[in-house]
Amino acid sequence: MIKKALLITVLIILLISVRVFQYSLFYDPFLLYFKNSYLSHTELPDINWLKMTLSLILRYVINTTISLIIIYILFKNKNIIKFSLAIYGISFLILISIYYYYISIDFESGYLAAFYVRRFLIQPLFLLLLVPAFYYQSKIQDKQV
């Protein structure tokens, strides 16, 4: 049990490190924009689309991999991992499409929708949603058995 807790702690520290070192690890022209510039309604930053896409993919893959390892350590169930992988994969395709749509229209409908879609792409929020759901599912299954 202690080994499991330590391993999960290390993985959570890795997730935090991705966030802490985001400026040096990833190309994201919207890091500063969403931090300050949107308040003054300045123009969107210049974007290197290929570099941004590759950076988003890399960050998503890193967060997803660490999240899947955490989920596996907690539940030791390959079916849960397969389901989680499908959720992460489908979500990425949907979210990146929506995000790029909002960028292409220069956030005409407002920046908040793009801000939150981007948040799901760059933060391990699915982990916060999936772990309680799988825990609840396991407790329901335990009661039925």
Average pLDDT, the chain: 91
Residue ranges per structural domain of the chain: 2-34+45-144
Shortest CA distance to 122 belongs to which of 44, 31, 46?
31
pLDDT band per the 50, 70, 90 thresholds, residue 144? confident
- Give yes or no for residue 117 having a pLDDT over 80: yes
Q: Is the pLDDT of residue 37 over 70?
A: no
Which stretch of 10-14, 88-92, 115-119, 141-145 has the lowest confidence by average pLDDT? 141-145
Q: Which two tokens stand for residue 29?
A: 């022209």
> Which of the pair, 43 or 78, is modelled with greater confidence?
78
Span of 81-85, 92-96, 99-103 with lowest mean pLDDT: 99-103
User: What are the backbone dihedrals phi and psi of residue 106, each rounded to the nearest 5 degrees, phi first?
Assistant: 55, 40
**Which are the contacts of 7, defined by CB distance < 8 A and separation ≥ 6?**
73
